[in-house]
């Protein structure tokens, strides 16, 4: 077990280094940081001085080391566009994205899993067919389209919900939360639903497929042959076996919510990291782009790690020291 954790940690660090490398390359080789920071008619000597003070004339590996060192401390320099430290900007925007992602994650799980179980157990009922049809739509429509259609219906035509922003937020230390006000919740509904829809349909289809697969296994057949009640067979045995592999994939999917949020944030003008990133791309604001990359990379790596560990805890076959079962 310990060996496994150690191995995964090493892997994660490697991935992070690769991400850092990409971010660093962005920083260093795309465009000239100096030109972006000073005016047109700054004399060459001043540029050289600035270059030296920023360590930009050191050999590349050294610069990379510096970059990593600063990145680990959360220092990504100044935003070209906003002339503020990138770390400040990120801290300001992070709560918005995290709250949105959390709401969407809860929503997609709370609706997706039960729907998946139902359509797996009652394959031919009309409700199942309806769910499947709706899920197909959910997978087919791009997120931004759903967002726009929701705005059209609920903001423009019905006027029920606000179409942009977070509503009123309450400041708790450096964290700003929208969970404590009614306005905050109202503003959260549409973006959270939009973000959740795609994940929800994926989760539903996944749970259903896995459930159907499990219901065909020998141990379910044997459970039925032993006369166990439908509840015991379907929920005690089938569901538990379904959820084990589903946990891994779902965990990974939810990690992706953080990244997908950038589309939703753009549609609803939600002031989160995603919107920040889009604006950075349009303005070629490299430090912000690089920082976002590293941060998102970190999120993914951490989530992957947690999900892997969770899988080990949940599936008894994997707990045997050193041996990895061939399940999955």
State which of residues 7, 35, 229, 269 lies at the interface with other proteins (CB under 8 A). Answer: 229
Q: How far separated are the first and last CA of the chain, in Å rounded?
A: 19
Place of tokens 């360590």: 55
Q: Interface mask (CB under 8 A) for other proteins, residues 147-166, using x and -?
A: -xx-xx---x----------
Q: Interface mask (CB under 8 A) for other proteins, residues 80-119, using x and -?
A: ----------------------------------------
- Among residue numbers 257 through 286, which ones bind other proteins (CB under 8 A)? 259-260, 262-263, 266, 277-278, 280-282, 284, 286
Could you give the CA distance from residue 187 to residue 171 in angstroms, rounded to a whole number? 17
CB < 8 Å & 24+ apart, contacts of 210-216: 210/120, 210/242, 210/245, 210/246, 211/116, 211/117, 211/120, 211/121, 211/238, 211/239, 211/242, 212/120, 212/123, 214/238, 214/241, 214/242, 215/120, 215/121
SS3 169: coil
Nearer to other proteins, 6 or 145 (CB): 145
Residue 324 binds other proteins, judged by CB under 8 A: no
What is the CB neighbour count within 10 angstroms for residue 269?
13
Nearer to other proteins, 93 or 169 (CB): 93
Report how far Cα 57 is from the mean position of its chain's Cα atoms.
36
**Shortest approach of other proteins to residue 274 CB, angstroms?**
10
**Shortest approach of other proteins to residue 18 CB, angstroms?**
5
Residues at the site binding other proteins, with contacts judged by CB under 8 A: 15, 18-19, 26, 30-31, 136-137, 139-145, 148-149, 151-152, 156, 217-219, 221-230, 232, 236-237, 240-241, 244, 256, 259-260, 262-263, 266, 277-278, 280-282, 284, 286, 289, 293, 296-297, 300-301, 304, 315-317, 320, 325, 327
């Amino acid at each position: 077990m310990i060996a496994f954790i150690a191995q995964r940690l090493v892997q994660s660090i490697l991935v992070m280094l690769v991400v850092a490398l990409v971010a660093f390359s962005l920083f260093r080789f795309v465009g000239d940081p100096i030109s972006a920071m000073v005016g047109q008619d700054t004399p060459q000597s001043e540029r050289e001085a600035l270059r030296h003070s920023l360590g930009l004339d050191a050999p590349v590996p050294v610069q990379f080391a510096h970059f990593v060192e600063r990145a680990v401390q959360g220092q990504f320099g100044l935003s070209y566009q906003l002339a503020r430290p990138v770390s400040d900007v990120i801290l300001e925007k992070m709560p918005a994205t995290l709250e949105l992602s959390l709401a969407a994650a809860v929503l997609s799980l709370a609706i997706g899993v039960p729907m998946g179980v139902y359509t797996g157990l009652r394959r031919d009922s009309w409700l199942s067919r309806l769910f499947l049809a709706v899920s197909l739509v959910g997978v087919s429509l791009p997120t931004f389209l759903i967002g726009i259609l929701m705005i059209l219906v609920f903001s423009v035509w019905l006027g029920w919900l606000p179409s942009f922003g977070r509503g009123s937020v309450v400041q708790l230390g450096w964290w700003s939360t929208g969970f404590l006000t009614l306005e905050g919740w109202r503003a959260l509904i549409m973006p959270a639903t939009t973000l959740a829809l795609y994940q929800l349909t994926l989760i539903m289809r996944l749970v259903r497929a896995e459930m159907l697969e499990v219901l065909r296994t020998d141990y379910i057949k044997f459970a039925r042959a032993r006369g166990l009640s439908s509840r015991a067979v379907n929920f005690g045995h089938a569901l538990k076996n379904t959820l084990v592999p589903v946990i891994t994939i779902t965990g990974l999917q939810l990690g992706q919510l953080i990244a997908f949020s950038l589309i939703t944030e753009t549609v609803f003008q939600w002031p989160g990291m995603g919107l920040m990133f889009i604006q950075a791309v349009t303005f070629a604001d490299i430090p912000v782009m690089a920082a976002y990359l590293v941060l998102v990379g970190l999120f993914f790596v951490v989530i992957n790690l947690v999900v892997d560990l969770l899988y080990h805890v949940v599936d008894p076959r994997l707990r045997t020291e050193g041996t990895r079962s061939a399940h999955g």
